[in-house]
Amino acid sequence: MPLPHDPGPHWGEVGIHGLHRQREWDAVVTLAAPELAGTEVWFVALPGGELVREEGDGDSEVLGRAVTLAPPYRAHGVRREGGLWVVGATRIETVELDDDPGGQAVELSWDGRERTVRLDGRPTLAGVVELERLGAERHATYVVTAARLSGRIWELFVSPL
């Protein structure tokens, strides 16, 4: 007589199955640099190669030269034991705006009937034609967010609404 069917999970030897975690970094590099001061640094490499430090006390110039990813990217460098630095970098999208909207952050949305613009979190009637064009090129309805990185260069996110 056959044994009853076992409805329990059959996970196999590794123990857990499922979806893997999303990749966090597009490039990772380890650099032996005990002479570098600091413990951690966040920085952005602009399209022309200029590095903009956002936070931290590490040397973004030395660490940025070690990253093999072509700009633009955002990177995070962390000092480890023995004078090692680990740098993770993620690609970002940037845009150079000819007409400066002012402020440090812009959020623009279009729902098919109404445009909403917020500049540094405050509603405004002013438009940002270049950001509206970028949103409309990609989606019928959209949200575009932009954060100033340096001068006229902004980090850009375009999402469907």
At 6 the pLDDT is 65
At 16 the pLDDT is 57
Share of the chain above pLDDT 90, in %: 77
Cβ atoms 64, 45 nearer than 8 A: yes
Q: Is the per-residue pLDDT at 22 higher than 80?
A: no
Question: Cis peptide before 34, with omega less than 30 degrees from 0?
Answer: no
Cβ atoms 102, 77 nearer than 8 A: no
pLDDT tens digits for range 88-117: 999 999 999 999 999 999 999 999 999 999
Q: Compute the average pLDDT of residues 13-31.
A: 76
Tokens of 22: 């999303």
**Mean residue pLDDT across the chain:** 90
List the domain boundaries for the chain.
27-92, 95-160
Angle 80-82-86 from CA coordinates, rounded to 5°: 35
At 24 the pLDDT is 87
Confidence of residue 131 (pLDDT cuts 50, 70, 90): very high
Which residue shows structure tokens 């069917």? Answer: 5
Q: What is the pTM of this model?
A: 0.80
Confidence of residue 58 (pLDDT cuts 50, 70, 90): confident
Q: Is the per-residue pLDDT at 59 higher than 90?
A: no
Report how far apart, in Å, the C-alpha atoms of 154 and of each of 30, 126, 144 are: 28, 18, 12
